[in-house]
Structure 1
Amino acid sequence: MIYNDFRSKVTPSLADILSLGGRIVSGSWPFPEVADAREIKVHVMGTATTDMLLRCVAVACAQEGLRPKVSQSLYGAFMQDVLNPASELYSIKPDIVLIVSDWHSLVADIPPSASNDEVALIVDAKVSEILSIWKRLTETLGVKIVHQFPPPPPYRLTGLAEKFLPVSYSNQLRSLFEKLWNAETYGVQMLDLEQFALENGSKSTFAPRVWYGAKLPIENSGLPGYVPLLRSALRGALNTVKKALVLDLDNTLWGGVIGDDGVDGIKLGTSDARSEAFSAFQAYVKSLAARGVILAVCSKNDPEIAKLGFAHIASILKYEDFAAFECSWGDKASGLRKIAKNLNIGLDSLVFVDDNPVECGLVQQELPMVATVHLDGDPADFVTKIEDGYWFQFQKYSREDFSRTGAYSARAAALVEQSSATDLPTYLKGLEMVGMVLRPEENQIERVVQLGQKTNQFNLLTRRYDEETIRAYLANEENIVFACSLKDKFGDHGLVSVLIGEAKGKELRIVEWVMSCRVFSRTFEQFIINEVIAASVARGITKIVGSYQATAKNAVVSELYAQLGFVLVDENLWELDLTQSPAAVETFVALASS
């Protein structure tokens, strides 16, 4: 087993890393250590030779601002290391395990005459094997898993007939992947290389000669494009996903300068190739918003003039599509800070795109945690330039994803009203908030898990429960499992908070409480605890116990229990005595009638 110590917070190119040759595998990261970089231990294993991928892992981590330590299992020792608790894998205790599977290990040679049911039995056996590996690693090591799945082999065999033959390698792989995706995934990030192969050329990037020659999963020439894909999986595993796309306006969302060219002079529509390309880019951005990506504008412009661009007859995007609209003559780094503050998300959640290299350079220098994409050249390439970064890679959708932009727009509208309010109680009353707390139904469990996995700020314990654990809590009727929704006069925010209380005799212990950042500071937490108290009293509970575990991002809730009337009884341990009939905490959220 090889163990390497890589230290850096800079972003060297993959070409720089590969040019160092064997010195990377045998030595230390050749850049100065940055003291405040978070260290991350990543272990690579699988059914292929993974030496070259270690370098990609190191680069991906460095580009994400992490200081990586990378280790790997020996070729052929994948299952032994997983099943043997005395293996070095268990002594290393990695934060993330990257599993690399090749297609040869995932498919079986099945007679073409086999029925669908016979093929399904064979695929199901492989699914069960993989799920058992995931469960073992997550339960025994507590690691996050990224599992890389290969593209199907480039075999046509008998042409169109093969495409619809259940036993074909391609159909086995797709069936396997779909069944795993629909199963309890234990928070695993599934990295699918099928689309990557189509975009980068399957015959070259996954050439048979590199497999037969060295059992390599990817040809060296494909590694530079693989790094951003791997980065997206790391963000998913570490809950640092990108949430918002922040866009410039002139020569980004339309051709020309709205202040100089006017509405009729900007390029949009179908009159020429350039106009059509800008319209296609707008359609792409609109599609991202429909799938849960928050949209914002950061432009050097007069705000009233800037809005005119969306009045163009061919504009697909409208002013209302943006949750934040920062137009001024100030620098864009300052504008991005305001956007992050107004949306109540981290700067590291933003992807900023601009056609101006100077603006991009400034943001990269001042805000390195913001992903910056320079949209230079032909607008026909704008979509590809964003897609090449794999910035928005969701594992699954929830119903709330499809209404997220509207919810953040409602938050923005509420902030505007707040700025004109004379006092906080008057403002909160004016929001006309209505809340609902219900035991989640089956179709809500995925959202319950997603909220716990993604939320970093209002997250008291940061335990990241999976579906299996949530269902286990739901199985006991004495436990309190609340899925909490909120509406106000500006819109429906959907399911935005989850609280789980585990009943132990006469005691209720809060084991998870998370809330979306877009409804902070509205007394919704007070509304929820009042409902918890009422439900606890109905169950004969005499004491509620809550804990707080500090992280780098959840300081906002460090005093939550004190604010709700709990008493500190031990370090980070709080209690609320229900035998004293505590008064309800003041809230401006009304209980929904049904």
Structure 2
Amino acid sequence: MGTTTDGLRALHRAGRLAAEYPAVQRLLAEADDAELALAGNLLARLDPDEVLRLHPGTTALTVAVTGHGTLAALRPALTAELARHGLLLRPYLTDFDSYVFELSDPASALYAARPALVLCVLDPAVVFDELPVPWGPEDVERVLAAKTDLLTRLAARFGATAAGATLVLNTLPLLHRYTAQLVDLRARARLGALWREANARLLRIGEEHPATLVLDLEPLANEGVQVQDPRLDAYAKAHLSPALLAGYARQAGHLARALTGRTRKVLAVDLDNTLWGGVLGDDGPEGIELGGGYRGEAFRTFQQAVRQIASQGVLLAAVSKNDPEPVAQVLAEHPDTVLREPDFVRVIANWRPKDENLSALADSLNLGVDSLVFADDSPFERGSVRAGLPAVAVVDLDGEPALHLPRLLRDGWFDVREATAEDRARPARYREELARGDFLQQFSSLDDYLAELDVRVRLTRARPQDVPRISQLTLRTNQFNLTTERLQPAEVTARTEHPDHLVLALHSADRFGENGLVGAVLLRSEDGGARLSIDNFLLSCRVFSRGIEHAALAEILRHAAATGAREVRGGYRPTARNATVRDLLPRYGFTAEQPAAGEDGASFYRHDLTTPLEPPAWVTLDSELSSPERTSA
């Protein structure tokens, strides 16, 4: 055990663990599995209410745990996983084997707890406990069909009852202890086929019911995680092993991180001994290890995986202590490199400290450093980044390239609930954004730049195909986000269908191309249409400072006046990340209400619509709200 557990133990013994909770994330940054297990046992003893009293800004997540067997080992594992992502677990544990009652009854204590996440943890005993003795594949088939039908109904009930929450189911591992009871090998093969077909049906529940996600436990078992401890299974009805529950908790932690807007956006990788073997400055382009021998093939495999990740919307950057010319030569000419210069949004090769380069990278992308994941084989470089930029997630690589990939994938830094078309287009659009920055340097004034940029904004009512992207904006946008209200897709859909709500999608383009769906405005009609409230306004950091928000607000005020409203009202709730929009509403003619600050430090503003807001002259606006087909907001 290292400094992780030493630090936590010291805080625990001193009675300071709750008081120092914000430091826990840093202490767990380098924790291995054994250290996380011990940390979870210490942290699970904390009273979440006490932590929140001492640190009211901490993001707490209520998670309900239910299922079939004994799940006591899941709580500490889940506590540690959330803590390492800067979250605080507020657990609600149901009684043993009560998942059917809890999920089927809208008046149950589970629903009353208002969890953001419900983990319904299933195990193979949920099937085998209901089989007669003796049993055959046909008996298993019957019970599996009944269970998948039941879980489908529970998912439907959950979606209709728990607005905004997410239900997590899982596939069922098939154990040798069950298959080996069939001495007929053909019957054993049929059992395997039936079991896999049932798991496939489970995995598809999420496609039919958007509020449900299904975690696949088979990859964990396939990589050697012990599925069951025979003694715990027999004596404690703990049908899944602590090791498997720890792996499950890790995946649930990734989901919790995504639900609270903490998914990372940028993968910054070193080059020497990370993307290829050897030191380019010493070995030259022809001497680096890439392809050919077994180590070269390991580096090539790692590059393939990095490119696969980047193809789904992750921004890829290289940050290397090298001269730029040989790096450019390798990326352009080396026959075995998978990654080429166009795969990167930025290639930084110089001799500056890497924490400085990473900070500059984040600035150039208009992102916070907490959007970055940094992978490097050098302990010195990793340590300097951890010290200089503690918000950056650091992946520890070493001299064994075969382990680069599992170490990168271990923490699911880029996992999202659903990848959208906007995600896949993001790298190209960020490269265009960097070209805009270069274009800006040609002008002596910002006004001249904006006039030549040819900004075009399209404001539309949100369509069904826009819902995943708008939900994602509420979950992942932290800087230009007036109220930081996080909405799941079902909640966005509900607002688009409600007669008193209007969800607007903002699209933009300019001389460099389409930016896509870059923002959303959530409006609500009140007092019989006399007041239009802005529940939230979100805009991607890629398109700040171009007048897009100005044009959208001007059109919203015009629409409010045209539809009979007497005022437009909006609020701002401060967070550590959204100071960018603190003065957004007063900047465009809204006046502060008295008292100026409300609950959680929120400030509220109103516009009496007596003075129209003119859109910026350099923006061309195309708005559905200007069409003859009008609806009340």
Could you say which TM-score interval applies, normalised by the shorter chain? Answer: 0.7 to 0.9
Residue pairs, 1:427-506, within 5 angstroms: 427-475=449-497, 479-504=501-526, 505-506=529-530
Are residues 25 and 446 of structure 1, via their aligned partners in 2, closer, same or farther at CA, if it must alter by over 3 Å?
closer
User: Does 2:595 correspond to 1:573?
Assistant: no
Q: Aligned residue for 1:176?
A: 202
- Aligned partner of 1:49 in structure 2 is 70
Return closer, same or farther for 1:19/1:353 CA change in 2, 3 Å cut-off. Answer: closer
Match of 1:123 in 2: 148
1:582 matched to which residue of 2? 612
1:524 is matched with 548
CA shift digits 1:221-240 (9 cap, x unpaired): 44665554343123123221
Aligned pairs for 1:149-164 within 5 A: 149-154=170-175, 158=187, 161-162=190-191
Distance 2:513 2:293 in 1: 39
Distance 1:34 1:512, change over 3 A: closer
477-486 or 296-305: bigger deviation: 477-486
Counterpart of 1:15 in structure 2 is: 34
Aligned to 2:309: 288
Residue 287 of structure 1, CA deviation = 1.0
State how far apart, in whole Å, the 2-side matches of 1:593 and 1:462 are.
Answer: 25
Q: 1:323 aligns with which of 338, 342, 345?
A: 345
* 2:569 aligned residue: 545
Task: Give the direction of change, closer, same or farther, for the CA distance of 1:276–1:87 in structure 2 (3 Å limit).
Answer: closer
After superposition, residues 86-485 of structure 1 pair within 5 angstroms as 98-105=119-126, 123-133=148-158, 136=161, 138-139=162-163, 145=166, 147-154=168-175, 158=187, 161-162=190-191, 168-185=194-211, 190-201=214-225, 204-206=226-228, 210-222=232-244, 225-226=247-248, 228-269=250-291, 271-311=292-332, 312-475=334-497, 479-485=501-507
- Answer whether contact 2:152 2:205 (CA < 8 A) is retained: yes
Displacement after TM superposition at 1:112 (Å): 7.0
Distance 1:121 1:589 in 2: 58
**In structure 2, do the counterparts of structure 1 residues 326 and 218 end up closer, same or farther at CA, with 3 Å as the change threshold?**
farther
Distance 2:492 2:376 in 1: 42
Q: Deviations over 1:317-344 (max 9, x none)?
A: 2222222333331211222222222222
Q: Distance in 2 between matches of 1:19 and 1:559?
A: 45
| Aligned residue pair count | 574
Q: Per-residue deviation at 1:403?
A: 0.7
Rounded to whole Å, the distance in 1 between the matches of 2:460 and 2:108 is 45
- Contact 1:190–1:395 at 8 Å: present in 2 too? no
- 1:438, distance to aligned residue in structure 2 (A): 1.7
Aligned partner of 1:40 in structure 2 is 60
SS at 1:369 equivalent = coil
Question: How much does 1:310 deviate?
Answer: 0.6
Aligned equivalents of 1:558, 1:87: Cα separation in 2: 39
428-437 vs 222-231, which moves further: 222-231
Change (3 A) 1:428 1:321: farther
CA contact (8 A) 1:17 1:24 kept: no
Identity across the alignment (%): 29
Matched AA of 1:333: D
How far apart are residue 502 of structure 1 and its match? 2.0
**What RMSD in Å do the two structures reach over aligned CA positions?**
3.8
Output the TM-score relative to the length of structure 1: 0.84
**1:80-115 CA distance string (max 9 Å, x none):** 667596959957x7675544333444898799779x
- Contact 1:61–1:68 under 8 Å retained in 2: yes
The alpha-carbon distance between structure 1 residues 506 and 252, as it changes in their structure 2 partners (threshold 3 A), is: same
| 8 Å contact from structure 1 (residues 6, 58) kept in 2 | no
CA distance in 2, matches of 1:331, 1:184: 45
Deviation at 1:173, TM superposition (A): 3.3
- C-alpha distance 43-591 of structure 1, shift in aligned 2 (>3 A): closer
Alpha-carbon displacement from aligned partner over 1:337-357 (angstroms, at most 9, x marks no partner): 222222222322211101111
CA contact (8 A) 1:486 1:492 kept: yes
Deviations 1:337-389 (A, max 9, x none): 22222222232221110111111122223333222112213323321221122
Q: Aligned partners of 1:69 and 1:476: how far apart in 2?
A: 31
Deviations along 1:22-71, one digit per CA (max 9) or x if unpaired, are 87776889xx9997683636555212322222221232233224455656
User: Against the structure 1 CA distance between its residues 72 and 251, is the aligned structure 2 distance closer, same or farther, given a 3 Å change threshold?
Assistant: same
Query: Could you say if the C-alpha distance between residues 437 and 540 of structure 1 is closer, same or farther in structure 2, counting changes exceeding 3 Å?
Result: same
Unaligned runs of 5+ in 2: 1-14, 597-602, 625-633
Secondary structure at the counterpart of residue 200 of structure 1? coil
Paired amino acid for 1:288:
I
Does structure 1 residue 60 correspond to structure 2 residue 90? no
- Classify the secondary structure of the residue corresponding to 2:70: coil
Q: Is the 8 A contact 2:61 2:87 kept in 1?
A: no
For 2:45 and 2:269, how far apart are their aligned partners in 1? Answer: 43
Distance 1:255 1:589, change over 3 A: farther
Q: Is the 8 A contact 1:293 1:404 kept in 2?
A: yes
Structure 1 residue 254 displacement after superposition: 1.9
* CA drift at 1:245: 0.7
Aligned residue in 1 for 2:12: none
Given that 1:5 and 1:69 are in contact with CA atoms closer than 8 Å, whether structure 2 keeps it comes out as no
Contact 2:298/2:401, CA 8 A, preserved across alignment: yes
2:223 aligns to what SS in structure 1? Answer: helix
Q: Is the 8 A contact 1:267 1:274 kept in 2?
A: yes
Query: Hey, what's the Cα distance between the residues in 2 that align with 1:226 and 1:415?
Result: 43
Aligned partner of 2:586 among 555, 562, 567: 562
* SS of residue matched to 1:438: strand
Distance 1:437 1:26 in 2: 50
- The answer to whether the 8 A contact 2:461-2:503 is kept is yes
Q: Find the counterpart in structure 1 of residue 8 from structure 2.
A: none
8 Å Cα contact 1:433-1:488 kept in structure 2:
yes
Instruction: Write the distance in 1 (CA, Å) between the matches of 2:571 and 2:42.
Output: 47
2:534 to 494, 498, 510: 510
Distance 1:543 1:34 in 2: 37
Query: Matched residues in 2 for 1:427 and 1:106: separation?
Result: 66
CA distance in structure 2 between the aligned counterparts of 1:121 and 1:19, rounded to whole angstroms: 39
Q: What TM-score do you get using the length of structure 2 for normalisation?
A: 0.80
AA in 1 matched with 2:620: A
**Aligned partner letter, 1:123:** T
